[in-house]
Amino acid sequence: MLASKRILLIIGGGIAAYKSLDLIRRLKERGAAVTPVLTRAAEEFVTPLSVAALAGEKAYRDLFDLTDEAEMGHIQLSRSADLVVVAPATADLMGKMAGGLANDLASTLLMATDTPVLCAPAMNVRMWDHPATRRNFEQLQADGIRFVGPNEGDMACGEYGPGRMSEPLEIVAAIEASLGSGPLSGKRILVTSGPTHEPIDPVRYIANRSSGAQGTAIARALSALGAEVVFVTGPAEVPAPDRVEVVRVETAQQMSDAVDSALPVDAGVFAAAVADWRVASASDRKLKKTRDGLPALDFAENPDILKRVAKLDDGRPALVVGFAAETDNVIEHATAKRERKGCDWIIANDVSPATGIMGGAENAVILISDDGAEEWPRMGKDAVAERLAHKISDALAG
Ligand code: CTP
């Protein structure tokens, strides 16, 4: 809840400005007060009247509006909020913020404020990828500005890629997390993610097809609800989320050690596709072709991290969630796996090639718990993550 919180919402001039109207509604529903500020370009996309009507407050527009200065100076305006939110944060606004320009009301407020700032970027994918935006983004992060999104997807301009503004509810969650008022604030949660690489020799390794997308989405969703997340990841294809503690590992053994160091936690989500075996004695030199025939690899079993943590006598997390990647008899195998590993919940999914789930953008999961098997409809991995994060939040609260 955001009761008694005041948000200064700066609306930049981009097509995503229409989502800011919904954002205002969602914030008001949660009890927040919203002071809206529009850039001149924003007024091309949404009207000050609709913004003011939804916020129930005057929409500020002009630095040189003397009435505003008489009512509330821009310095005071910039500091009266608990959080400044820039949505959409256009490439132009990000450039001004990174460069320290203050030539209109929005940029002046952003320069004058001593309040934390959260940006929800929105722009064309090429603009997002442009070296200037990359530089500005890095600079702003170094300056302590927080970010939510952008998301990847179809864009209003017809292109596809990162640059789409986060959905209003994602921004609300990031606002709650920034204000320490998310339902998981104060909870420490471990997430393992990605594949592991088990070396054969210095240049070869055994791996699997996990992209790390589902584990990454879960870490992001938990953090958005305010959790302090320790994210232990193997060599994944997708970038790690912001605002989580990232521990990078390569092998199952390293992942196991990193998990031990992360304990104690309130909950552990074991989404990593950990290799069950490693090469017993990986060569420290590259294996060469020889006349004597093919090399023989001896395997040793890796530690089962989930099972070990789920069966801890001392310091077991209150909630332990495992994953079961199955190709047949999904519920039966996953139910047996839950029993064997001793975890509270198993998120089972069918990873047979025809489903396109392993390495894909969607997931169709079945949650197995004491209450039986709960089948979730096929949805994006981000949506699965959000639903799971809320369920974890309910379980830890209960
Ligand atoms: N897991 C783990 N450590 C391992 C192997 C698996 O922590 N060494 C975890 C995974 O992160 C996942 C769960 O255990 O949460 C299930 O992994 P999976 O590979 O599907 O199951 P297996 O134990 O390998 O069982 P099987 O080979 O019978 O499918």
pLDDT tens per residue across span 110-140? 999 988 999 999 999 999 999 999 999 999 9
The 3-class secondary structure across 161-224, one letter per residue, is: EEEECCCHHHHHHHHHHHCCCCCCCCCEEEEEECECCEECCCCCEECCCCCCHHHHHHHHHHHH
Q: List phi, psi (to 5°) of 331.
A: -65, -45
Q: Which atom of ligand 1 is nearest to the CA of 321?
A: 15
Task: Examine the pLDDT at 359 and tell me if it is beyond 80.
Answer: no
Question: Quick one: residue 342, left, alpha or beta (phi over 0 = left, psi -120 to 50 = alpha)?
Answer: left
Give the single-character DSSP code of 273.
Answer: B
Q: How confident is the model at residue 28 (pLDDT cuts 50, 70, 90)?
A: very high
* Whether the bond into 150 is cis, omega within 30 of 0: yes
Task: Examine the pLDDT at 66 and tell me if it is beyond 60.
Answer: no
CA 54–ligand 1 middle distance (angstroms): 49
Per-residue pLDDT, 70: 59
Per-residue pLDDT, 67: 60
Fold of domain 6-178: Rossmann fold (3.40.50)
350 close to ligand 1 (CB < 6 Angstrom): no
The distance from CA 223 to its chain's CA centroid, rounded to whole angstroms, is 7
Per-residue pLDDT, 68: 60
User: Are the beta carbons of 203 and 229 closer than 8 angstroms?
Assistant: no
Residues taking part in catalysis: 157
CA 341–ligand 1 middle distance (angstroms): 9
Cα-trace Rg, the chain? 24
By three-state DSSP, how is residue 9 classified? strand
304 close to ligand 1 (CB < 6 Angstrom): yes
Task: Examine the pLDDT at 375 and tell me if it is beyond 60.
Answer: yes
Per-residue pLDDT, 295: 87
Burial (Cβ within 10 Å: 0-12, 13-18, ≥19) of residue 116: middle
Handedness of CA 264, 314, 397, 149 (dihedral sign): positive
325 close to ligand 1 (CB < 6 Angstrom): yes
> What's the angle, vertex CA 193, arms to CA 188 and CA 195, rounded to 5?
160
Ligand 1: which residue has its CA nearest to atom 12? 323
Fold of domain 188-397: Rossmann fold (3.40.50)
Per-residue pLDDT, 382: 87
In angstroms, the CA 259 to CA 255 distance is 6
301 close to ligand 1 (CB < 6 Angstrom): no
> Do 6-178 and 188-397 fold alike per CATH?
yes
245: which strand partners? 230
Domain ranges of the chain: 6-178, 188-397
* pLDDT top residue among 292 and 9: 9
CA 309–ligand 1 middle distance (angstroms): 13
Mean pLDDT, to the nearest integer, of 271-286? 95
* Pairing of β 245-248 and β 299-301: unpaired
In angstroms, the CA 3 to CA 24 distance is 14
Mean pLDDT, to the nearest integer, of 273-281? 96
The answer to which of 10-14, 244-248, 361-365 has the lowest mean pLDDT is 361-365
CA 368–ligand 1 middle distance (angstroms): 15
In angstroms, the CA 165 to CA 21 distance is 13
272 close to ligand 1 (CB < 6 Angstrom): yes
Task: Name the binding residues for CTP.
Answer: 276, 286, 303-306, 323, 337, 341
Per-residue pLDDT, 59: 95
Q: Which tokens sit at 118?
A: 């959260």
Per-residue pLDDT, 159: 79
* Of 318, 324, 282, 316, the residue nearest 300 (C-alpha): 282
In angstroms, the CA 194 to CA 211 distance is 6
